[in-house]
């Protein structure tokens, strides 16, 4: 979906899924915004993905892209409806961008083929997934639901231009930790992630 000028609506969160901070790049126990973090930006609009990439790369981070929910699940090696291994109920080539370059090089290392007789191992290389709500083929809420049903406990941040409370609540119910309005603000994203990490860290 296209970017919306609505950027003043506060982030929405009901009872979000618990976060396991071990589900981060290289298994870091305590990520920090000062680290070079790795994000997966999921949006059907290429312009939106590029804008998210520029925002995060300007802060020194690395961004991979997925053009829709099914591509995201493939990148995450997550079983879903239509794949070889499917969860009982429902609940991607990556395009890396780095601070030093915005060239698009297909990252095949993130694609894990799996035998239907072997349980797939989820890709836990991302510090957070930024996921658009409205996408063709598979929406953000459905994609988040498949990830949660597969056991993913990492951070999923919903991003939406439709700032309606019921839609944002539905996204959280389906697996997002929080939903932020478009356009995405780097300061708000930083504060959101730091708050999540702090609340999830052992006291």
Q: Is the pLDDT of residue 106 over 70?
A: no
Least confident of 28-37, 160-169, 179-188, 190-199: 28-37
Q: Is the dihedral of CA 46, 175, 20, 7 positive or negative?
A: positive
Tens-digit pLDDT profile for residues 13-43: 445 566 655 555 445 556 789 899 999 999 9
* pLDDT at residue 183, rounded to an integer: 87
Residues whose CB falls within 8 Å of the CB of residue 26, separated by 6 or more in sequence, listed in order: none
Q: Is residue 63 part of a domain?
A: yes
Q: Is residue 163 part of a domain?
A: yes
Burial of 83 (0-12, 13-18, 19+ CB in 10 A): middle
Q: Give residue 57's pLDDT band: very low, low, confident or very high (50, 70, 90).
A: very high
How many structural domains compose the chain?
1
Answer for the pair 100, 63: CB distance below 8 angstroms, yes or no.
no
Q: Across the beta sheet with 178-181, what order do the strands follow? A: 62-66, 38-42, 128-132, 155-160, 178-181
Q: Does the pTM of the predicted model rise above 0.85?
A: no
* pLDDT at residue 87, rounded to an integer: 41
- What does pLDDT average to over the chain? 76
Q: What's the angle, vertex CA 189, arms to CA 133 and CA 149, rounded to 5?
A: 45
Q: Is residue 69 part of a domain?
A: yes
Which of 8-12, 29-33, 103-107, 193-197 is modeled with the greatest confidence? 193-197
* pLDDT at residue 163, rounded to an integer: 77
Tens-digit pLDDT profile for residues 108-166: 333 333 344 445 689 999 999 999 999 998 999 999 999 999 999 999 999 998 878 99
* pLDDT at residue 120, rounded to an integer: 65
For 19, half-sphere exposure in the C-beta direction (CA atoms, 13 angstrom radius) is 27
Q: Is residue 6 part of a domain?
A: no
Q: Is residue 17 part of a domain?
A: no
**Helix orientation angle between 186-200 and 46-57, rounded to the nearest 10 degrees:** 70
Q: Is residue 20 part of a domain?
A: no
Q: Is residue 46 part of a domain?
A: yes
Q: Is the pLDDT of residue 104 over 60?
A: no
Which of 6-10, 24-28, 82-86, 183-187 is modeled with the greatest confidence? 183-187
Closest by CA to 144, choosing from 177, 169, 192, 168, is 177
Q: Is the pLDDT of residue 167 over 50?
A: yes
Answer for the pair 156, 129: CB distance below 8 angstroms, yes or no.
yes
Q: Is the dihedral of CA 62, 159, 128, 70 positive or negative?
A: negative
**Token output for 189:** 């994203």
Q: How far is CA 133 from CA 37, 101, 137, 163, in A?
A: 23, 28, 12, 10
Q: How far apart are CA 74 and CA 83, in angstroms?
A: 9
**Token output for 184:** 């995405």
For 120, the domain range is 25-200
* pLDDT at residue 202, rounded to an integer: 57
| More confidently predicted of 79 and 17 | 79
| More confidently predicted of 86 and 51 | 51
* pLDDT at residue 184, rounded to an integer: 86
Q: Is residue 1 part of a domain?
A: no
Q: Looking at residue 53, which CATH number applies to its domain?
A: 3.40.50.2300
Q: How far apart are CA 120 and CA 180, in angstroms?
A: 30
């Amino acid at each position: 979906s296209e970017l919306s000028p609505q950027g003043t609506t506060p982030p929405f969160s009901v009872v979000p899924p618990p976060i396991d901070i071990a589900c981060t790049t290289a298994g870091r126990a305590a990520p920090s915004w000062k680290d070079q973090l790795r994000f997966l930006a999921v949006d059907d609009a290429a312009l939106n993905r590029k804008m998210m990439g520029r925002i995060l790369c300007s802060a020194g981070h690395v961004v991979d892209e997925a053009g829709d929910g099914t591509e995201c699940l493939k990148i995450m090696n997550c079983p879903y409806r239509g794949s070889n291994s499917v969860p009982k109920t429902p609940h991607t080539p990556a395009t890396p961008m780095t601070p030093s370059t915005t060239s698009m090089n297909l990252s095949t290392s993130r694609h894990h083929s799996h035998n239907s007789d072997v349980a797939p191992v989820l890709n836990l290389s991302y510090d957070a997934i930024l996921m658009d709500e409205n996408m063709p083929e598979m929406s953000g809420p459905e994609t988040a639901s498949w990830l949660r049903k597969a056991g993913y406990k990492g951070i999923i941040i919903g991003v939406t231009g439709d700032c309606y409370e019921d839609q944002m609540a539905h996204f959280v119910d389906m697996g997002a930790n929080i939903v932020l309005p478009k356009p995405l603000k780097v300061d708000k994203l930083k504060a959101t992630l730091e708050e999540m990490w702090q609340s999830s860290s052992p006291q």
